[in-house]
Structure 1
Amino acid sequence: MGKRKTATLQSIADDHNVSIATVSRVLNNKGNVSQSLKSAITRTLIDNGYEIASKVKISNTVVVFVPDYANPFNIDVLSGIEKAAKLSNYRMIITRTKTTTNNIDYYLSLIEDINVIGIISLSPFSDANIVKRLNDIIPTVMCSDYIYHKDLSLVSIDDTKAAYNATEFLIKSGRKKLIHVTSTLNHNYAVMRQEGFLNACEDNKIAVSENDILYFSTINYDLVYSQLNYYLQVNDNVDAIFASSDIFAAAATKAALNNNYRIPEDIAIIGFDNIDLSNIISPSLTTVNQPRFDIGYQSLELLREKINKSNRIEKQIFLDTTLIVRESS
């Protein structure tokens, strides 16, 4: 005796925001339905006791969008995703994305030849509506970089709070002339870390001009070092640097030493992420520690909940950060 049907075709169509005709095409293995949507509906049909016209392979593949492969931060996050994926018997595929786009067809094209059951994105999205449309088709979790929305799932940290605390630490240690070295603002984390920096300066009556924030489009050590080396030559009153990544902070350290600054006596430097580099360079970096592995691990666990329908409420999970104080401050 077959499994008793526990849902109607109409209710399954409603769950996937499609017509009953689309569900019927999947049930009868006919017609043109995108592979990702077909996989999702097939899983629901089988879970509810329906027999597909011909055997359809259920995927166990999740895809991870990454903005680049060079950022050491991403390596630890991916390790966390991979660990959780193995425990859930999921296969993980990593796909690099280009600069944020408002075209959902671009994201769908990245997975058109892959039978995917879920997406984790470390890459920034430019619009919450894009994520919502993608999530309607394939369960999606934003990881680390995110756009906040109550109807979208994410795992990250409170970037604004972490940046505020790091900046205030510099100010409370007596620093008066601070600069912020960060990524361009197409990265949502950069927007929030800049907000935390500016809020801390304002609350402590520290003046900040446009020239005190240096933007870089890529996390490139040599480029940041070159520009900061020149900046410190023509701005000799800087006594603190808050950088939105440890790579930026390491480049700032080299530039400061090259300009005969004593660290931390003349200038204090704080980075962000606590990658291995921060404890290797000399002087070692004070930095904001992100639980990178846990961010990745929890992202996959949250995605698994969404895939298994064990949680129909979108979740926003924020993990704690800590300021690791070392020699640079």
Structure 2
Amino acid sequence: MANTKVGISMSRKRKPASLSDIAAASGYSIATVSRAISHRGSVSAVAQRTIDALVAEMDYHVTNTRQPAKSTTIAVLIPNLSNPFNSSVLEGIQNAANAHDLNVALLMVKETDTNIEYYLNMLKDANYCGVIALAALPDNQTAYQLNHEIPVVMCSEYLEDTEMSYVGINDDIAAQKATDYLTRIGRRHIALINATTNHKYAREREAGYKQALRRAQLSFEADLVLHINSIRYNLALSKVTDLLRTRTEIDAIFATSDIFAIAALEAARHLGRRVPDELSVVGFDNIFLATVVSPKLTTIKQPAYEIGHEACEILREKIARKNAPERHEVLEASLLVREST
């Protein structure tokens, strides 16, 4: 009997392609590839055929993060619990969820050094049917990839130039309203107390502040702008006190958070600066403390409850209908004039 040699070929298993790999190979955007693979939204016939062929050729597999339809729990991604503004947003989400027999789970997330794997790992062991992101997602590519795996709505803080669903306000216009008001009442040395500009809302509120100064023919002074990396009263109090002590010509403060504005009121009291006679203060958000402090705080009112409620309504629609269109809802913010100006 002749000896027969059986050859066994060993080869390294090819790593499955990612959504971004398919996008790079096809020449289409992550958003288009995501729509084509999930069959959610409009995609041209040519794009669909191209992407389908690459999916088969490149061994792409959908990550099994999307849970069965029977799931009734939505995840709300939140960066921290220190900002009272978020409580009203969460109330709106909760009430809308209750109306549709949905449960709400809060997930504390970090806002820096995140990527798609971070979110997928966080969601993989629980039965969530959708996500509302109060915490800023890092970029559109990560957001599209997450939305491909599970329905996502961005709430309050959202990405620029995105196709994904979001609910929020126009922060630039809102900041212009606040600063315009201060210039109309005769203030000429207006300080800005802002968050750090890694946040979209902080960048846009600062842009609105600058635009209003230009309209009033006032010079922008970088030394009159503070960037505070956390919305915390004690941190803001220390920094605003130092600013008012060294820049005595300041006659108004626009703070991009009511917490910052309340700290400014205390700093002024400590330094003997009378509000509103010598110093006008405007906040942002209209949290419940705005009418508790003395003097009562002039502020920009964000429709926080409505933002949360509408975000949950949009998410419910995306959960219920696979091809539900992405929606962008920009609600109006208004100026409430009280005793601090």
Count of aligned positions: 292
Q: What do residues 58-115 of structure 1 show as CA deviations (whole Å, max 9, x unaligned)? A: 2111100001011100111001101111111111100011123351111112112111
* Aligned counterpart in structure 1 of residue 85 of structure 2, from 73, 91, 111: 73
Q: 1:123 to 1:85 in 2, by over 3 A?
A: same
Q: Does the residue aligned with 2:65 lie in a helix, a strand or coil?
A: helix
Deviation of residue 138 (structure 1)? Answer: 0.9
SS at 1:180's partner residue? strand
The answer for the alignment partner of 2:131 in structure 1 is 119
- Check the 8 A contact 2:169/2:332 in 1, yes or no: yes
Verify the 8 A CA contact 2:179 2:209 in the aligned structure 1.
Answer: yes
TM-score normalised by L of structure 2: 0.81
1:225-264, aligned counterparts within 5 Å?
225-264=237-276
CA distance in 2, matches of 1:100, 1:323: 32
Assess if the C-alpha contact under 8 Å between 1:102 and 1:127 holds in 2: no
Of 40, 65, 85, 1:36 maps to: 65
Structure 1 position 12, deviation (Å): 9.9
TM-score (norm 1): 0.84
Cα pair 1:272 1:289 within 8 Å, conserved: yes
Q: Secondary structure at the match of 1:152?
A: coil
Partner of 1:197: 209
Amino acid at match of 2:302: Q
- Displacement after TM superposition at 1:34 (Å): 4.4
Equivalent in the alignment of 2:307: 295
For 2:240, the aligned partner's letter is L
Deviation per CA, 1:180-220, whole angstroms, max 9, x where unpaired?
Answer: 00111111111111111111111211112221110111011
Provide Cα deviations, 1:124-143, integer angstroms capped at 9, x if missing partner.
12312211111111111000
In structure 2, C-alpha distance between the alignment counterparts of 1:79 and 1:156, rounded to whole Å:
15
Other-structure match for 1:315:
327
Q: 1:241 to 1:311 in 2, by over 3 A?
A: farther
Q: CA deviation at 1:14?
A: 4.7
Letter of the 1:185 partner, please give it: T
Mapped partners of 2:213, 2:190: distance in 1 = 9
- Decide which of 39, 52, 73 is 1:61's aligned counterpart: 73
Residue 285 of structure 2 corresponds to: 273
TM-superposed deviation, 1:36: 2.3
Q: Which residue number in structure 1 is paired with residue 156 of structure 2? A: 144
Q: 1:83 and 2:107 equivalent?
A: no
Aligned mates of 1:173, 1:291 — CA distance in 2: 25
304 and 255 in structure 1: CA distance in 2 versus 1, 3 angstrom threshold: same
Contact 1:178-1:208 within 8 A present in 2 as well: no
Larger Rg: 2
Amino acid at match of 2:160: Y
Q: Is the contact made by 1:100 and 1:125 (CA closer than 8 Å) also made in structure 2?
A: no
**Alpha-carbon RMSD:** 2.1
Structure 1's unaligned 5+ residue stretches are 1-10, 23-31, 44-57
Q: Is the 8 A contact 1:139 1:306 kept in 2?
A: yes
| Structure 2 unmatched ranges of 5 or more | 1-34, 41-47, 56-60
Percent sequence identity over matched residues? 37
Moved more, 226-235 or 309-318: 309-318
- Corresponding position of 2:340: 328
Deviations 1:109-166 (A, max 9, x none): 2112111111100101231221111111111100001113351100001111010011
Amino acid at match of 1:15: H
Return the match for 2:145 from 130, 133, 156: 133
Deviation at 1:310, TM superposition (A): 7.2
- Could you tell me which amino acid in structure 1 is paired with residue 107 of structure 2? T
User: Partners in 2 of 1:89 and 1:12 — Cα distance?
Assistant: 31
Letter of the 2:177 partner, please give it. Answer: N
Q: Distance in 2 between matches of 1:188 and 1:295?
A: 17
- 1:95 equivalenced with 2:119 (yes/no): no
Secondary structure class of the residue paired with 2:131: strand
